[in-house]
């Protein structure tokens, strides 16, 4: 990507955010998914930011994409989560693990806004350990038939195609391996339901779906048979970097808001920004911003190095480790920054009418999805201790 292309992409992202804000404000109050998230993104041609230009994307490197997501998440964790589902864990596995025919079939329409994507790994009884999943595939009549339930899936009720992970039905629990499929969501054998009982992130689509002998054509297996776990874990590196980047956006937005509000709000005869304890909140939010920014930058650089040499296992491990650190740090920093911003706003902070209160609700899930705080810590500790033999979940 050239400097001009990068500047143009960031300008398009900025224009998108300017148009999205009033719509997102309204939808947040109305508590419903906002289709403008996708429609406007189509208008500004940002539905495939890191997808190579030959497949209709913008060809963004990892750091530019991370910066774009930070900007989008200033508008809300809901809109950024749509991009994660569509691109970071939707288009990404096809880009990285798909064959040429799969790339040609799914990437250009998804960049044009004609195909919404999602990533279906989690199940009711398999979250932190996807290997405990019960979704199965079997081959019959020249196609795959998939059975199972996927739970808590971003874009799950609006997706046209989902990356689904399933086990061979013929193999028992011992020795079985997961495979990945590009599953189109049409037809009566694919039932979906949006999940609305969420304390925040109202404008993101979170759903469950059930597949009952759902047919998938043979050419839609992603990667080779049994490679599903590797594909899932590789894709989650991309997803986690987007969560971390989004959290940076939350912190940036909280900082903008607290600076503006604390200069304007008068108490005890002066702007509250002049009270030392309010300055403590502002200083800590800025420290959270600067540290999250630095960790995301080094994680994005590590991920980009891995993208450039996809067969280099050491580079992949380094990216995995640095992205896990950035995801843990940025999501916790954003949670603290939003909490401090609410405090600076006082009673108005405890309201969905102002942005800090929304960020506080919305960003909490970032410490859970795409790998919880605890799973990130286990990953970091085992690496520091000396590698795979120290993995606590084994």
Site string for ligand FAD, 76-95 (x = CB under 6 A): ---------x----------
Residue of 47, 152, 208, 241 interacting with ligand FAD (CB under 6 A): 152
Q: Which residue is nearest to ligand FAD (CB)?
A: 127
Residue of 45, 73, 77, 122 interacting with ligand FAD (CB under 6 A): 122
Which range of residues in 8-16, 252-260, 291-299, 367-375 is near ligand FAD by CB under 6 A? 367-375
Closest CA to 369 of 50, 77, 93: 77
153 binds ligand FAD (CB under 6 A): yes
Residue of 191, 286, 339, 374 interacting with ligand FAD (CB under 6 A): 374
Q: Is 389 a catalytic residue?
A: no
120 binds ligand FAD (CB under 6 A): yes
369 binds ligand FAD (CB under 6 A): yes
The dihedral formed by the CA atoms of 59, 65, 69 and 72, expressed in degrees to the nearest 10: -50
Residue of 180, 295, 365, 366 interacting with ligand FAD (CB under 6 A): 365
Residue of 128, 267, 308, 309 interacting with ligand FAD (CB under 6 A): 128
Long-range contacts of 183-188 (CB under 8 A, 24+ apart): 183/120, 183/146, 183/211, 183/214, 183/216, 183/220, 184/160, 184/216, 184/220, 185/159, 185/160, 185/161, 185/209, 186/160, 187/214, 187/215
Residue of 82, 119, 190, 321 interacting with ligand FAD (CB under 6 A): 119
The least distance separating ligand FAD from the CB of residue 206, rounded to whole angstroms, comes to 4
The least distance separating ligand FAD from the CB of residue 207, rounded to whole angstroms, comes to 9
393 binds ligand FAD (CB under 6 A): yes
Interface with ligand FAD: number of residues (CB under 6 A): 23
Residue of 127, 234, 249, 349 interacting with ligand FAD (CB under 6 A): 127
Site string for ligand FAD, 5-24 (x = CB under 6 A): --------------------
The least distance separating ligand FAD from the CB of residue 348, rounded to whole angstroms, comes to 26
Q: 3-state SS string over the chain?
A: CCHHHHHHHHHHHHHHHHHHHHHHHHHHHHCCCCCHHHHHHHHCCCCCCCCCHHHCCCCCCHHHHHHHHHHHHHCCHHHHHHHHHHHHHHHHHHHHHCCHHHHHHHHHHHHCCCCCEEEECCECCECCCHHHCCCEEEEECCEEEEEEEEEEEECCCCCCEEEEEEEECCCCCCCCCEEEEEEECCCCCEEEEECCCCCCCCCCCEEEEEEEEEEECHHHEECCCCCHHHHHHHHHHHHHHHHHHHHHHHHHHHHHHHHHHHHHCEECCEEHHHCHHHHHHHHHHHHHHHHHHHHHHHHHHHHHHHHHCCCCHHHHHHHHHHHHHHHHHHHHHHHHHHHHHHHHHHHHHCCCCCHHHHHHHHHHHHHCCCCCHHHHHHHHHHHHHCCHHHCCCC
Site string for ligand FAD, 283-322 (x = CB under 6 A): ----------------------------------------
Among 370, 374, 389, 391, which one carries the catalytic annotation?
370
206 binds ligand FAD (CB under 6 A): yes
Query: Half-sphere exposure of 129 toward its Cβ, with a 13 Å CA cutoff?
Result: 8
Question: By C-beta, is 123 or 293 nearer to ligand FAD?
Answer: 123
Which range of residues in 113-121, 211-219, 301-309, 312-320 is near ligand FAD by CB under 6 A? 113-121
The least distance separating ligand FAD from the CB of residue 372, rounded to whole angstroms, comes to 3
Residue of 102, 154, 325, 332 interacting with ligand FAD (CB under 6 A): 154
Question: By C-beta, is 126 or 300 nearer to ligand FAD?
Answer: 126
* Catalytic positions, written as ranges: 370
Instruction: Provide the binding-site residues for ligand FAD, judged by CB under 6 A.
Output: 85, 118-122, 127-128, 152-154, 201, 206, 365, 368-372, 374-375, 378, 393
């Amino acid at each position: 990507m050239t400097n001009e292309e990068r500047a143009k992409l960031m300008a398009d992202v900025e224009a998108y955010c300017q148009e999205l804000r009033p719509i997102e404000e309204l939808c947040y109050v109305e508590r419903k998914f906002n289709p403008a998230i996708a429609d406007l993104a189509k208008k500004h041609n940002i539905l495939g930011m890191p997808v190579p230009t030959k497949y209709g994307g913008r060809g963004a490197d990892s750091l530019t994409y991370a910066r774009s997501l930070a900007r989008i998440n200033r508008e809300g964790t809901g809109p950024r989560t749509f991009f994660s589902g569509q691109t970071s864990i939707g288009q990404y596995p096809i880009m990285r693990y798909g064959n040429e025919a799969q790339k040609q079939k799914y990437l250009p329409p998804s960049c044009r806004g004609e195909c919404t994507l999602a990533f279906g790994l989690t199940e009711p009884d398999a979250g932190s350990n996807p290997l405990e999943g019960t979704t199965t595939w079997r081959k019959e009549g020249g196609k795959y038939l998939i059975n199972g339930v996927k739970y808590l899936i971003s874009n799950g009720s609006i997706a046209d195609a989902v990356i689904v992970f399933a086990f061979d039905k013929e193999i028992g629990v011992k020795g079985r391996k997961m495979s990945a499929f590009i599953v189109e969501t049409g037809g009566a054998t694919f039932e979906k339901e949006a999940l609305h009982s969420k304390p925040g992130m109202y404008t993101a689509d979170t759903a469950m779906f059930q597949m009952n002998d759902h047919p998938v054509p043979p050419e839609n297996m992603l990667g080779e048979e049994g490679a599903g776990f590797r594909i899932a874990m590789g894709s989650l590196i991309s997803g986690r970097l987007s969560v971390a980047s989004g959290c940076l956006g939350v912190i940036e937005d909280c900082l903008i808001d607290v600076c503006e509000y604390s200069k304007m709000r008068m108490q005890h005869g002066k702007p509250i920004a002049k009270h030392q304890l309010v300055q403590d909140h502002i200083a800590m939010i800025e420290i959270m911003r600067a540290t999250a920014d630095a960790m995301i930058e080094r994680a994005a650089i590590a991920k980009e190095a891995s993208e450039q040499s996809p067969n280099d296992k050491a580079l992949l491990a380094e990216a995995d480790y640095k992205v896990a650190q950035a995801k843990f740090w940025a999501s916790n920093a954003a949670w603290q920054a939003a909490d401090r911003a609410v405090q600076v706003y006082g009673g108005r902070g405890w309201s969905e009418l102002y942005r800090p209160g929304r960020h506080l609700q919305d960003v909490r899930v970032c410490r859970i999805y795409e790998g919880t705080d605890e799973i990130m810590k286990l990953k970091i500790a085992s690496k520091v201790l000396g590698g795979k033999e120290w993995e606590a979940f084994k």
